[in-house]
Amino acid sequence: MSMKKISKKEKVRQIIRLLDKLYPKTPIPLKHKDPFTLLVAVLLSGQSTDQSVNKVTPALFRLAGTPENMAKLSVSKIREIIKPVGLSPAKSKNIKALSQILVKKHGGRVPSTFVELEALPGVGHKTASVVMSQAFGEFAFPVDTHIHRLAHRWGLSNGKNVTQTEKDLKRLFPEKLWNKLHLQMIFFGREYCPARGHDAKKCPICSIF
């Protein structure tokens, strides 16, 4: 089936059906226990893998699982614990700074709006989207480089950046599916549609378009 013979609407229908079949359940891959620990874990996952983040967060959260306790840690101590995930100098500074802000401005709670989240150090739109969808159940479609790649491969978006791709995907897929679909696409990309060594003929989605 060629891309020219199938509409985007039909592609979307087939993608939803296949992803629901492959991944009926979508557990959050980052270990956390509340909005704060999720926020920190998502921040740490930037340009890193979930597996490497999950290796360092237990020790970090045992020491400081609340904004109050994290704000008391030195940047060097945070960096020492999170060093394996990479970009530790910037991430450690941001984690301490955002923890201080949560204590001073938000009563030790993670805010539940995009504007307030994106105002925190080190928190971009993608990180805020993950927290809004997974911690607060708000409809959001976090688009990282992996989802950006899949959307382009599947002919769903020709966006030059994740911002445009997010707009395209939100327009194509029903809002009620966004939170689940974001995780399904991540799982699918890792298992069947990787950046390198991808065989389109063996990919359950690429092979049908």
Asked if 56 and 85 touch (Cβ cutoff 8 Å), the reply is: yes
Token duo for residue 199: 């065989």
Residue with tokens 């939170």: 179
- Phi, then psi, of 122 in degrees rounded to 5: 80, 0
Token duo for residue 81: 């614990």
Token duo for residue 94: 């941001």
- Phi, then psi, of 65 in degrees rounded to 5: -95, 5
Q: How many helices (H) and strands (E) does the chain have?
A: 11, 0
What residues are labeled active site? 126, 144
Torsion of CA 193, 194, 197, 200, to 10 degrees: 20
